[in-house]
Amino acid sequence: MQGRTEPAGFATNVPGAIRWHAAIYVAGACALIAANWFTGGAWWSFWPLGAWGVMLAIHYLVYKTRSVDEAWVEERTANLHSKSYDAHHIDRIAEDHENNPR
C-alpha cells in the first residue's frame, strides 16, 4: 500500500491549524464581547460564541480521531493496564488466553 502524499502547506499542519483556529476564536470572542458590552442590552454574543465553540470542539475531536495509530493504542493500553487496580487478574486472564487459545 502506498503512503498518501499531500501537498505541503497550512492544511497539512493540523495541530497548527487547531491552534490558529483557537487563537482566532479568542480574538473573535474578545471582539464580540466588547461589541456586546458597548451596545448594552442582553448578552447576544453568547449564541455566536457558543456555536463557534462547538465548531472548534468538533475540529479538535476530528483531529484527535484521525491521529490515532497503533503506537498510540499500545501506549494507552499499557498506561491503563499499569494503573489498573486488578492488574494481576488481567495478567492471569492474558496468560490463560495465551496458553489455551481457541
Q: What is the pLDDT of residues 14-70, one digit of tens each?
A: 778 889 999 999 999 999 999 999 998 888 999 999 999 999 999 999 988 888 888
13 vs 100, higher pLDDT? 100
Show Cβ contacts of residue 16 under 8 Å, excluding neighbours closer than 6 positions: 10
C-alpha span between 45 and 37 (Å, rounded)? 9
Q: 86 by DSSP, 3-state: which? A: coil
Residue 61: alpha-carbon gap to chain centroid: 4
φ/ψ of residue 41, rounded to 5: 85, -160
Q: Which triple of cell numbers denotes residue 44?
A: 447576544
DSSP letter, residue 10: G
Confidence of residue 80 (pLDDT cuts 50, 70, 90): confident
DSSP letter, residue 33: H
pTM for the whole thing?
A: 0.58
